[in-house]
Structure 1
Amino acid sequence: MEHEAEVQQGAARPTDLYAELFGKNASTLEVVSTGRLAPVGARPPIRTYLGQIWKRRHFLWAEARAKVTSGTRETLLGQAWLVVNPMLNGLAYYLIFGLVLGAKAGIENFIGYLIIGVFLFQFTSQSVVNGAKSISSGRNLIRAFAFPRASLPVSVVLRGVLNLAPALGAMFVLLVTLPEKEHWTAAAAFFPVVLALQVLFVTGLALLLARAASALPDLNQLISVLMRFWLYGSAVFFSIERFENYPWIVGIMEANPMYMVLDAARDTLLYGAVPALSTWIGLSAWAVGTLLVGFLVFWQAEESYGRV
């Protein structure tokens, strides 16, 4: 008994050991209420979520610029490919569809018509395809850091906008210098509005497809095929008047948002005309509606992306 008492007297208390190892204040314990804790990656309210994205706007812009530069760093022409690539596509479409298949018949300023179609549709195509892959390609980033996941597809669209900037410069140069003259009027001032609506629409579609592709990865393989059908259905290198004997085809194409974008852009830049009111209403509805639906659908699955 005496031996046990000596051992107990000589044994250090746990708090004394903590104090010796970690300092005098280490024995002070703080009780944290579970009400102050939140699950990692939990879905915040929409207003908070939008605020988180806005706070990261400078980072998103810098990240998009860095990827635009690094994407062509290992090539000989570098960023010149941002202009050369759509020009080569346009040349291929001109040779095959314009000359061989005679698609330019009845189209005023077919070269300008084709250039606008190819350059603007390529922006949509690249943003949609890369936006759909943004969650799977950013998987490690999602698991390592807490941030609004919508930043990933939004960053992809920003990258597409930066890629489009030099392409638009080349497009305007080509429209001015090519033999077939365009009709420049005050209507050209409406082109930035058309472009802004296109960006809103593409952002919403990238968000929507990013959510869908994260749940079904095989969709990424299907999207590239669907983009070809969308290309043909947007009258990029032929006139919708070719189907005037098939009103149901014309109706489907006229309801196509990308056809509205290209038709409005051609009116403002080539034909000196302000797009019809129906075009503005339809394009605005597609742009705002797709952005709202895409954002809400993406936000609802915010907690699931970290488990991809």
Structure 2
Amino acid sequence: MTAKRPPADAVAADNDWFFDGLSGEARDAEGTWTLKPVGRRLPLGQYLRALWQRRHFIWVDSRARAFSANGGYLLGNAWLVLSPLLEGLTYYLVFGLLLQTSRGIDNYVGYLLVGVFMFHYTSRCMTGGANALFTGRTMIRAFSFPRAALPMSVVLREMVGMGPVVLTMVLMILAIPPHAEVSWRWLLLPMVVALQTMFNLGLALVMARTAHHLPDIRKVVGFVTRLWLYGSAVMFSFERYVEDPGVLRLLEANPLFLVLDITRDLLLYAVTPSVESWLTLTAWAVCSVSVGLLFFWQGEERYGRG
């Protein structure tokens, strides 16, 4: 079936670059526009190129949403920092003062701040990824574009919002006794955040497709993140409660424990993390984003249905 291309002014020019190449039209050798099925999954290489072509839109959208999400509150974007800070204060009162889990941990306040702030980043990406296709369902049904742009936008939005959070965390561990000492190892912190972001992206992609097929998973995410929090040594040390070497080794292979452990070594204890820790976290990051992208891409044709 063929059809003439509508006049150029019938299509909003500022949207062409985002949706071009994935619409239901294609030009043949004679210049005639031919209709083709909409929503068909592109080969992986073309899919990645389509995402790359839309990188500017994804970035601008993520940056705008990062600082507008709290616009309805009196304190506005201050909640980017206040939310994990209040959560950390709660954990300090319960675990640090009442349960005395701080015993044996040097600079427990800094230990807890790093744990809560860095864990909060991954938990928000996980929750946002699970809701990405649901909140973007109107856009999915109206336009044809790589659906992975939605969970990717969520992760980038959280990454942008993580900027003031990390800055606040660093200032607090410098200001609150016992004061952390600045060392050259602090320069390695962006590498940790980059690897964590890669891991978060893969996690968000997996959660997005899983929640699309099983919507009830969005109700379970909160319980999973809470269990993961307790299994990542956010507010206590494993060595005090776990005696079995095999179980301890398994817990320390947790990617979020690695993120927290490396960050604490860099910022609090002036210790260079082991090569094994860096390699293990890198493996988690690469495997997460690779598996997550493939898993999400395989369900591309189904996201506009239902």
Is the TM value for this pair above 0.5? yes
2:67/2:161 contact within 8 Å kept: no
Corresponding position of 1:172: 170
Partner of residue 73, structure 1:
71
Task: Give the Cα separation in 2 of the matches to 1:203 and 1:304.
Answer: 20
- Following the alignment from structure 1 to structure 2, what is the Cα–Cα distance between the partners of residues 283 and 38? 43
Q: Counterparts of 1:194-273 in structure 2 under 5 Å?
A: 194-273=192-271
Kept in 2: contact 1:124–1:202 (CA 8 A): yes
Say whether the 8 Å CA contact 1:190–1:274 is kept in structure 2.
no
Q: Which runs of 5 or more residues in structure 2 are unaligned?
A: 1-27
TM-score (norm 2): 0.87
After TM superposition, give the deviation of residue 169 of structure 1 in Å: 1.0
What is the aligned counterpart of 1:292 among 290, 293, 296?
290
Equivalence map 1:31-110=2 (5 Å): 37-110=35-108
The one-letter amino acid of 2:86's match is: L
Q: Aligned residues, how many?
A: 278
In the alignment, the residues of structure 2 paired with residue 223 and residue 75 of structure 1 have an alpha-carbon distance, to the nearest angstrom, of 25
Instruction: Label 1:303 to 1:34 Cα distance change in 2 as closer, same or farther (>3 A).
Output: farther
* 4+ long deviations beyond 4 Å: 32-37
Percent identical = 46
Is the 1:121–1:231 contact (alpha carbons within 8 Å) kept by the matching residues of 2? Answer: yes
Structure 2 CA distance for aligned equivalents of residues 224 and 103 of structure 1: 24
The CA distance in 2 between the partners of 1:75 and 1:147, in whole Å, is 33
**Which protein is richer in helix relative to its size?**
1
Work out whether residues 81 and 165 of structure 2, in 8 Å CA contact, stay in contact via their aligned partners in 1: yes
Distance in 2, Cα, partners of 1:244 & 1:304 = 44
Contact 2:174–2:181 (8 Å) recurs in 1: no
Structure 1 residue aligned with 2:120: 122
Classify the secondary structure of the residue corresponding to 1:76.
coil
CA RMSD in angstroms, aligned pairs only: 1.8
Letter in 1 for 2:215: P
Unpaired stretches in structure 1, ≥5 consecutive residues: 1-29
Q: Distance in 1 between matches of 2:191 and 2:67?
A: 27
Q: Decide which structure has the larger Cα Rg and report it.
A: 1
Whole-angstrom distance in 1 between the partners of 2:91 and 2:58: 35
2:303 is paired with a residue whose SS is helix
Secondary structure of the corresponding residue to residue 71 of structure 1: coil
